[in-house]
């Protein structure tokens, strides 16, 4: 019998046997933490889930060696008696995905061996138990992130039903999905399954792409596709991702009623140089976009039937203390939902070409201002009594996108900008607490610098810089 056949037989035997062999305690317990220290950058599979992270190095069936990222994630799929918190430690380095087909001969007829090749899969708990919570953390910190490179063989990660995944101090790059229909053409970098939750902290997602082969197909979510799932971005950079529909993020909440089942929050993040025919963010749900910069996102092939836009809102969006710039003929906000603006800069940098607007006119849309905004036209119904202004890009006096300190690139306010000290008093923000929208104080800007001078600056940047102190713009990678 070939080595691969022996391995496949062992795997199938393990999957068939019940994992929970001991009776559960009736008393609820805290999940037991489990740490897997990844010790190799090689893409090795773990064919025997047994709570020991070891990648197969061959040639014999029992030749298991170091703990790889794929092996650690495979072990994290399974619960052993009780669900636990699985902490996968990833040292600095590049972890390139290289396994493109099933390592078993013949492959499993039910496709259950797909966790061992292609993208990294955190699938639904196989035996239906409460799943482990998983974190993949680069141990080098934000200044020395670990790199997960899909090597264009597949997307980078897929998160299964009911899973909770934390990603921290990582670069996620070179995911590629070639879908044959609209359902497959989702999530070039990460795809979230039903009722899953993803937290990104100090993560950069770059150069991820999703394509659809037929001309009638529509690809979505160049970086992330979240379908009936929860999504949180903190100190995240999304750049140079590509899709026909939504180049950065596709977020879909399928609740047909007036309420919301899932949440989507973006804080202290930058979304730039992503490329799409239509939207940068496609929102079919509720979004809170706070202390965030969006700029230089590209719409290379606008169509007359469906003009490009930065954010397509089909339910509800809150845009607060953010700086969003668009150029050319695209609209900044479109759709048939409700968008609330607060202390934000929303400007077309090249003027409003071909009738483009900041708020695209739609009889089904609703635009609300809470004050302190700077728009480049009056399409969002600015309220001067609340401190809203209408100014051109040059009048707003903004610096280039660059490293101004903090974990993500920002656009600084130059001396003389009307955004400086726009409102008296502290910055206020609305956020989701449970199922309720509440109001509180915003104490820092996108960089983490304090907003404590008694005046609230408009946009994601607090303070002022001089033209003479500007550094070179960030290099496009």
Whether 340 shows a pLDDT value over 50: the answer reads: yes
**What one-character DSSP code corresponds to residue 296?**
-
Whether 174 shows a pLDDT value over 90: the answer reads: yes
Q: What is the DSSP string of 134-176?
A: EEEEETT-TTS-EEEE-TTSS-SEEE-TT-EEEEEEEEEE--E
**What one-character DSSP code corresponds to residue 152?**
T
In a domain, 146, yes or no: yes
Pairing type for strands 176-179 and 209-212 reads parallel
In a domain, 119, yes or no: no
Reduced to 3 states, what is the DSSP secondary structure of residue 353? helix
In a domain, 1, yes or no: no
Number of domains in the chain: 1
Cα separation of 248 and 324, whole Å? Answer: 14
In a domain, 250, yes or no: yes
In a domain, 94, yes or no: no
Q: What angle do CA 289, 345, 169 make, to 5 degrees?
A: 40
Range of the domain at 353: 140-469
If you search the block for the tokens 């019940």, which residue do you land on? Answer: 18
**Helix residue spans in 298-380 (DSSP H):** none
The 10s digit of each residue's pLDDT in 95-111 is 999 999 999 989 999 99
Is-contact 297 331, C-beta < 8 A?
A: no
Pairing type for strands 436-441 and 428-433 reads antiparallel
The gap between the terminal CA atoms of the chain, to the nearest Å, is 48
Tell me the two tokens of residue 406.
Answer: 């903090």
The pLDDT of residue 300 is 65
The pLDDT of residue 71 is 98
The 10s digit of each residue's pLDDT in 281-302 is 999 999 999 999 999 998 765 4
Whether 67 shows a pLDDT value over 90: the answer reads: yes
Q: CA quadruple 370, 372, 373, 379: dihedral positive or negative?
A: positive
The 10s digit of each residue's pLDDT in 82-99 is 899 999 999 999 999 999
pLDDT, the chain, mean? 89
Whether 76 shows a pLDDT value over 90: the answer reads: yes
Q: What angle do CA 47, 51, 52 make, to 5 degrees?
A: 70
In a domain, 125, yes or no: no
Q: CA quadruple 385, 391, 396, 402: dihedral positive or negative?
A: positive
The pLDDT of residue 30 is 55
In a domain, 375, yes or no: yes
In a domain, 90, yes or no: no
Q: How confident is the model at residue 257 (pLDDT cuts 50, 70, 90)?
A: low
Question: For residue 165, what are the CA distances in angstroms to 7, 45, 87, 158, 447?
Answer: 29, 20, 10, 10, 25
Instruction: State the Rg of the chain over Cα.
Output: 24
Which element (helix H / strand E) includes 35? Answer: strand 34-37
């Amino acid at each position: 019998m070939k080595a691969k056949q022996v391995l496949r037989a062992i795997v199938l035997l393990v999957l068939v046997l019940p994992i929970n062999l001991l009776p559960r305690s009736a008393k609820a317990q805290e999940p037991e933490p489990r740490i897997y220290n990844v010790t190799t950058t090689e893409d090795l599979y773990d064919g025997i889930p047994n709570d020991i992270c070891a990648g197969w190095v061959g040639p014999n069936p029992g030749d298991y060696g170091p703990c790889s990222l794929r092996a650690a994630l495979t072990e994290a799929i399974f619960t052993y008696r009780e669900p636990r918190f699985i902490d996968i430690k990833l040292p600095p380095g590049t972890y390139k995905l290289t396994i493109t087909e099933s390592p078993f001969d013949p492959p499993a007829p039910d496709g259950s061996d797909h966790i061992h090749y292609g993208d990294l899969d955190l699938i639904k708990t196989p035996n239906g138990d409460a799943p482990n919570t998983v974190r993949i953390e680069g141990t080098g910190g934000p200044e020395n992130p670990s790199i997960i490179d899909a090597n264009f063989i597949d997307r980078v990660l897929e998160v299964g039903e009911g899973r909770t995944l934390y990603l921290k101090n990582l670069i996620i790059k070179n995911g590629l999905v070639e879908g044959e229909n609209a359902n497959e053409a989702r999530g070039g970098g990460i795809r979230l399954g039903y009722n899953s939750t993803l937290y990104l902290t100090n993560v950069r997602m770059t150069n991820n792409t999703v394509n659809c082969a037929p001309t009638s197909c529509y690809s979505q979510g160049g970086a992330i596709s979240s379908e009936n799932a929860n999504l949180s971005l903190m100190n995240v950079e999304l750049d140079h991702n590509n899709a026909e529909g939504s180049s950065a993020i596709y977020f879909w909440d399928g609740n047909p009623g007036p309420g919301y089942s899932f949440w989507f929050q973006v804080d202290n993040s930058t979304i730039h140089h992503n490329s799409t025919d239509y939207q940068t963010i496609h929102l079919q749900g509720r979004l809170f976009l706070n202390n965030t910069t969006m700029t230089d996102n590209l719409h290379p092939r606008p169509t007359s039937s469906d003009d490009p836009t930065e954010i397509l809102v089909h339910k509800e969006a809150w845009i607060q203390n953010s700086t969003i710039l668009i150029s050319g003929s695209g609209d900044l906000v479109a759709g048939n939902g409700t968008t609330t603006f607060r202390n934000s800069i929303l400007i077309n940098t090249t003027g409003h070409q071909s009738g483009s607007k900041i708020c695209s006119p739609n009889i089904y849309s609703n635009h609300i201002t809470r004050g302190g905004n700077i728009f480049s036209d009056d399409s969002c119904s600015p309220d001067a009594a609340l401190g809203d202004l209408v100014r051109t890009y040059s009048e707003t006096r903004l610096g280039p996108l660059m490293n101004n300190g903090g974990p993500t690139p920002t656009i600084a306010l130059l001396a003389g900008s009307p955004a400086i000290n726009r409102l008296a008093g502290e910055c206020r923000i609305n956020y989701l607490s449970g199922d309720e929208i509440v109001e509180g104080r915003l104490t820092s800007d996108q960089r983490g610098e304090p907003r404590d001078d008694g005046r609230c600056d408009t946009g994601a940047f607090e303070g002022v810089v001089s033209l003479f102190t500007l550094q070179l713009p960030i290099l496009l990678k």
